[in-house]
Amino acid sequence: MDTPPAPTEADAARYLSDAEAQLLQLFTETSKADWVYNTYITDDSEFLSAKANARFLTESANLAKRTTRWDVKRLAPADARKALLLRLGQPLAAPDDPKAADELTTLAAELQAAYAKARHAPKGHTESLDLEALSKILRESRNPAELQDVWVGWHATARPMKAGYTRFVELANHGARDAGFGDLGEMWRSKYDLSPNDFAKTVEGLWQQVAPLYKELHAYVRRKLRETYGDEAVSKDGPVPAHLFGNMWAQSWEHIYPLVAPPSSDPGIDLTSILVARKTDPVGMVKFGERFFVSLGLEPLPATFWTRSQFERPRDRDVVCHASAWDVDADEDLRIKMCIDITGEEFHVVHHELGHNYYQRAYRRQPFLFRDGAHDGFHEAVGDTISLSVTPEYLQTIGLVDSVPGPEKDIGLLLHRALEKVAFLPFGLVIDKWRWDVFSGAVRPDDYTGSWTRLRRDYQGIVPPVPRSEDDFDPGAKFHIPGNTPYMRYFLAAILQFQFHRGLAKALGWSGPLHRCSIYGQAEAGRRLRAMLEMGASRPWPDALEAVTGERVMDGGALRDYFRPLEEWLKKENRSAPVGW
């Protein structure tokens, strides 16, 4: 598939069409190999997955590099966009050197396998526990010594990854430079219809919009944790130890709601207890999510979804339980991979993952290079937008509850949701800010953990429970680092889901509080969502945003609008308490 340095418009269109056909075949082969590896971890499946990914990365890199000399101004707009997306389609670009490319993909598979196999034996336990079991302890225990042991033990499992990750960064940057980018971070930031520098400024601006609400929440939670664990464990005006938030990375705080709930308030509905009492099984959890999308006018999931997905952890083998949605053939072979627990939290996760599947299905008629979200934050935001409609009124409509709490319970409802959504915001920013500096060389291996700790302190107001050294590799204790999954998408989704929700509420003529609005069963909401989903990546993201919201700029103000009653309440609660750290 040799092409001239300056192809005609027809030459470029033909080249891109051939490239898409080749990429579709490679994509399907790689997806199937990855699925087998993720659901049946063995040395053999790891080897086959690495080889398939090497083929895909190498060929996609070769196809992309032949477009770097094109004058895209001479091309049709759609083909110019395809050429750009071809260069940006994967989170890795294979180096030109075949040996380096093979080493890169082998390292990627090894790092993922190391994470999936990680275990820690807490004090008092006779066997090592996986992340799921350790997370359960963090959610339920109120013994600070036990919490610290679990936190330290899990983070210790990342230490052996450091050398491999250091080499991985070298090779990944090599591939990015061969593809025409300064480093892998610059390549990632080029995916957003903005220059890499402008995108970084946009992200920081969004954070500045929402930071005041986060700091009020942090101050309130810090005061409540002091009441539980004492002044020696939690300072009055400083950062808070990371092991006290009910989550391994302190990225979500909803599990400590009982410790911080206002005396006269509660989250209203214990969805976990309701689901368990109804004897809901994992398939039943997914059926609830499917029915929501169908209520908007979208089609039921294909029959193969139900026979090919992984809903539960198998008893006979290691699997990657991290929840994910799969589009195996870029058409109708949709799946989710989860180890579903029957909890209210997992109820929301199911809706989130199905958001990916319905997005994938909607744009399947687009050319292959456009079968993606408007940007990756859009892909993550769709399912979370649906989750915002899992209101008490919605739960009553589908028969899970008989009555809904009155407005006097709203602060409890909003606080519980803020412990998930607002608490996440700085963590969603930190992971890729750290990696951007790692990829650029601003952070060297001898400062991996130190720089990570400083970022988390500065943005989250959170610190490790014990001193850390560069023998540790704390970033590697989060899946997305060894898994090389860009994380800025989650921060953007945390902003966009509220903007989508506000836009859809306005389209429906909703006049009540945003947190009480559900789009369940609303055809107009489904029409607007479908218009965005079907675009895929064929248009710049402001066009997709406008289809849902009528707006063309990402806006953190929608999140502040949603939580406004809570923010006003928090300010009153914090009148005599320090805010910030």
- SS3 call for 462: strand
Q: Which one is catalytic: 322, 480, 534, 551?
A: 480
CA gap 206, 225 in Å, rounded: 28
Handedness of CA 32, 34, 35, 36 (dihedral sign): positive
Active site residue 120: no
Helix ranges (H only) for 98-161 are: 98-117, 131-140, 144-156
- The amino acid at 202: T
Buried b (16+ CB within 10 A) or exposed e, 11-31: ebbebbeebbebbbebbbebb
Our answer to whether residue 353 is catalytic in this structure is yes
The residue to which tokens 């895209």 are assigned: 72
Strands (E) across 10-142 are located at none
Question: Cα 405 vs. chain centroid, distance in angstroms?
Answer: 31
Neighbours of 231 (CB within 10 A): 9
Q: Pick the catalytic residue: 186, 216, 353, 380?
A: 353
What letter represents residue 365's amino acid?
R
- Rg (Cα) of the chain, in Å, rounded? 23
Quote the crossing angle between the two packed helices 541-549 and 488-507, to the nearest 10°.
30
Q: Using CA atoms, how far apart are residues 115 and 199, in angstroms rounded to an integer?
A: 30
The strand pairing partners of 326, in sequence order, are 335
CB count within 10 Å of CB 288 equals 18
Query: Read out DSSP for 222-271?
Result: HHHHHHHH-TTTS-SSS-EEGGGSSSTTSS--GGGHHHH--TT---S--H
Instruction: DSSP letter for 473, please.
Output: -
**Separation of alpha carbons 424 and 249, rounded Å:** 10
Residue 151 tokens, joined? 């936190």
Q: Are 405 and 268 in contact (CB under 8 A)?
A: yes
What are the b/e assignments for 473-511, b being 16+ CB within 10 Å? bbbbbbbbbbbbbbbbbbbbbbbbbbbbbbbbbebbebe
Q: With the CA atoms of 426, 429, 431 and 437 taken in that order, what torsion angle do they form, in degrees rounded to the nearest 10?
A: -120
Q: Please give the C-alpha separations between residue 398 and each of 285, 390, 403, in angstroms, as whole numbers.
A: 13, 10, 12
Catalytic residues: 353, 480
